[in-house]
């Protein structure tokens, strides 16, 4: 038990000249003589659904042994540090993604597990993240946050299904796909800006230079009322916000000096690695400030023509995914997929190093890292690559590789996730039950 002399509301924010910045959970937000676990200040679970395109090369993703004694293959090796908080789930299938359209519906059916109607208008199923948003997101500023790295006009379309399922993994209703934001500057102003509209927020920030500067006086006044640990926590948090602000500003200035490409509006880094990292940092800040508890992030999208010269693979992503079982091509594809795991591992580092009540953000999170395709050469939605990370307040049993029988619904994993997060749901899509082993 930790005793505090002062009690702040969990909803306390720093305000100044039109700016408002939410704060992380502080000891001072816990009533005196009250155990953290017995207070409303206890953080709700953070749920994250992190999607990557084009599946994963099976023998470079799937451990050769089950249970707790397993070795991580190439693609998952960058996540070795978090093996004790990892649950690899093998053998599941998402029948909703099976169709003659190999890519157009993969993303949009990943979290809903409902086969879409053959129509130019979206008709699928509400997704797991939006079910979570209804239950644990309504008291936050943003019930859910939807992020991606590849936006613009490049949606994956199909003459039978339209374009609704290619650029998002999130459906608020069966007929309402949610757009995913790929511009980090837009995300930053949405989370930390001010004004009633994006134009007003941008105008104010351009005039003042820094959101942090706008709340500096109130931050100083608050710090004088806090204990040493809370003062350090607030200081570190505001420095993190300032660092993202600085990076966004640098991107803006650099892109203003160049001719923007149609699909690269001002604010989007030209460097893909930087883009991924800053989006993950914004997500971590949103979790830390309890601005949202539910997020989806498409690290890549189907039919991506992105190259990965940074890891020595110059071939475009999508053509490389059609490896024709060639071992050399499969090894190069796995190298790209391992790169995505490396970036994701840095995000886990950030969550694990961020205090959150009686643990860390990672201790209080449950994250699904996966894809809606198994063998990319055959466009199969069988034997999906899926891994869970985080402790979810100790409600999940980490350090496992679980293998399920052929045709076990992927939806069972989603139902299990929601239930472990305290969301009472019995079924989703074609689910048949929960995974008691998780």
Residue 44's CB: how many other CB atoms inside 10 A? 17
Domain that holds residue 250: 1-42+186-267
Residue 207 lies in a domain: yes
Give the list of residues 6+ apart from residue 161 with CB closer than 8 angstroms, or none. 99, 101, 104, 105, 116, 118, 119, 120
**Parallel/antiparallel/unpaired status of strands 386-389 and 86-93:** antiparallel
112 and 151 housed in the same domain: yes
Residue 341 lies in a domain: yes
144 and 221 housed in the same domain: no
411 and 384 housed in the same domain: yes
Provide the pLDDT for residue 92: 98
**Which of 377, 380, 370 lies closest to 413 in space, CA to CA?**
370
Write out the two tokens for 293: 């508890």
315 and 437 housed in the same domain: yes
**Which of 171, 188, 165 lies closest to 250 in space, CA to CA?**
188
Distance of CA 292 to the CA centre of its chain: 11
319 and 428 housed in the same domain: yes
Provide the pLDDT for residue 226: 84
CATH number at residue 418: 3.40.720
241 and 108 housed in the same domain: no
pLDDT along the chain (438 residues), means of 10: 52 64 71 50 81 97 97 98 98 91 90 90 90 92 92 74 90 92 86 56 55 73 81 75 64 40 50 93 90 96 92 95 95 98 98 92 98 93 97 96 97 98 94 97
177 and 190 housed in the same domain: no
Write out the two tokens for 137: 């997101």
320 and 404 housed in the same domain: yes
Provide the pLDDT for residue 206: 56
Distance between CA 188 and CA 283 in Å, rounded?
Answer: 10
Tell me the helix, strand and coil percentages in the chain, rounded to 5: 35, 15, 50
Domains in the chain, number: 2
Distance between CA 24 and CA 18 in Å, rounded?
Answer: 20
Is residue 382 a contact partner of residue 93, using CB atoms and an 8 Å limit? yes
Provide the pLDDT for residue 255: 42
Residue 274 lies in a domain: no
71 and 53 housed in the same domain: yes
**Which of 95, 105, 97 lies closest to 167 in space, CA to CA?**
105
Residue 284 lies in a domain: no
Residue 286 lies in a domain: no
DSSP count for the chain of H helices, then E strands: 11, 13
Provide the pLDDT for residue 222: 80
Residue 278 lies in a domain: no
Provide the pLDDT for residue 132: 97
103 and 198 housed in the same domain: no
214 and 306 housed in the same domain: no
């Amino acid at each position: 038990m930790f005793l505090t002399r002062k009690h702040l509301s969990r909803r306390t924010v720093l305000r100044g000249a039109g700016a408002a910045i939410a704060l992380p959970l502080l000891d001072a937000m816990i009533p005196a003589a009250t155990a953290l676990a017995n207070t409303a200040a206890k953080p709700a679970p953070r749920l994250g659904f992190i999607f990557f395109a084009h599946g994963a090369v099976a023998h470079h993703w799937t451990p050769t042994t089950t249970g707790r004694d397993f070795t991580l293959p190439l693609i998952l090796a960058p996540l070795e540090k978090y093996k004790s908080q990892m649950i690899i789930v093998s053998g599941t299938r998402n029948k909703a993604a099976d169709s003659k359209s190999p890519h157009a519906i993969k993303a949009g059916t990943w979290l809903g597990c409902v086969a879409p109607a053959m129509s130019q208008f979206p008709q699928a199923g509400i997704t797991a993240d939006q079910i979570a948003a209804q239950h644990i997101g309504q008291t936050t500023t943003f019930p859910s946050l939807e992020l991606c790295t590849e936006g613009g006009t490049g949606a994956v379309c199909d003459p039978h299904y339209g374009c609704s399922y290619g650029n998002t993994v999130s459906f608020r209703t069966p007929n309402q796909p949610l757009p995913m934001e790929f511009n980090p500057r837009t995300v930053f102003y949405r989370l930390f800006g001010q004004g009633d509209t994006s134009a007003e927020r941008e105008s104010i920030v351009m005039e003042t230079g820094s959101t942090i500067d706008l709340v500096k006086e109130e931050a100083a006044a608050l710090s004088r009322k806090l204990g040493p640990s809370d003062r350090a926590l607030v200081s570190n948090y505001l420095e993190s916000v300032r660092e993202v602000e600085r990076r966004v500003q640098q991107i803006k200035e650099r892109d203003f000096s160049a001719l923007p490409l149609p699909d690269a509006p001002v604010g989007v880094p030209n460097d893909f690695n930087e883009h991924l990292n800053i989006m993950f940092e914004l997500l971590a800040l949103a979790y830390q400030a309890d601005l949202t508890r539910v997020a989806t992030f498409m690290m890549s999208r189907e039919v991506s023509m992105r190259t990965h010269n940074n890891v020595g693979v110059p071939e475009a992503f999508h053509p490389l995914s059609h490896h024709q079982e060639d071992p050399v091509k499969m090894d190069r594809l796995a190298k790209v997929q391992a790169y995505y795991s490396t970036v994701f591992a840095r995000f886990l580092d950030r969550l694990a190093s961020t205090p959150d009540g009686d643990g860390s953000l990672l201790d209080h999170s449950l994250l699904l890292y996966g894809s809606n395709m198994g063998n990319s050469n055959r466009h199969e939605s069988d034997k999906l690559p899926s891994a869970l990370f985080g402790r979810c307040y100790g409600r999940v049993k980490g350090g496992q590789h679980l293998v399920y029988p052929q045709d076990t619904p992927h939806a069972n994993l989603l139902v299990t996730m929601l239930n472990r997060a305290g969301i009472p749901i019995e079924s989703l899509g074609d689910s048949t039950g929960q995974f008691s082993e998780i």
